[in-house]
Amino acid sequence: DGGITQSPKYLFRKEGQNVTLSCEQNLNHDAMYWYRQDPGQGLRLIYYSQIVNDFQKGDIAEGYSVSREKKESFPLTVTSAQKNPTAFYLCASSIDRQTQLFFGSGTQLSVL
């Protein structure tokens, strides 16, 4: 079954801790994205990657980091510098910028 897998579904972060959200796709898509969703707001772009070993900052990259060492994987690290990390995080992929975006099922991150 082709798709995007995000894990874990729920994640809790302690003060000063870095946490990593996993995103894996088997769709053979070149482009991958991380979005943050807050209640009542549209999705906001954190980082995107057009190709392996390359990624670009989105609108709200501060306090986050990513890597793209493999085509199928695009993990997101929420660092301790992100002071308001509680949100629903969505990973997505597409063949290129003119094609449909496919989303994972999301990770809910909360602060303890």
Q: How far is the CB of 10 from another protein (least distance, A)?
A: 10
Q: How far is the CB of 70 from another protein (least distance, A)?
A: 19
- Tokens, residue 27: 């769709």
- Amino acid in the structure at residue 83: K
Residue-wise burial string across 58-82, b where 16 or more C-beta atoms lie within 10 A, e elsewhere: bebbeebbbebeebbebbbebeeeb
Residues numbered 12-51 forming contacts with another protein, rule: CB under 8 A: 31, 33, 35, 40-45, 48, 50
Which spans of this chain sit near another protein (rule: CB under 8 A)? Answer: 4, 6, 31, 33, 35, 40-45, 48, 50, 56, 58-59, 88, 90, 92, 97-106, 108
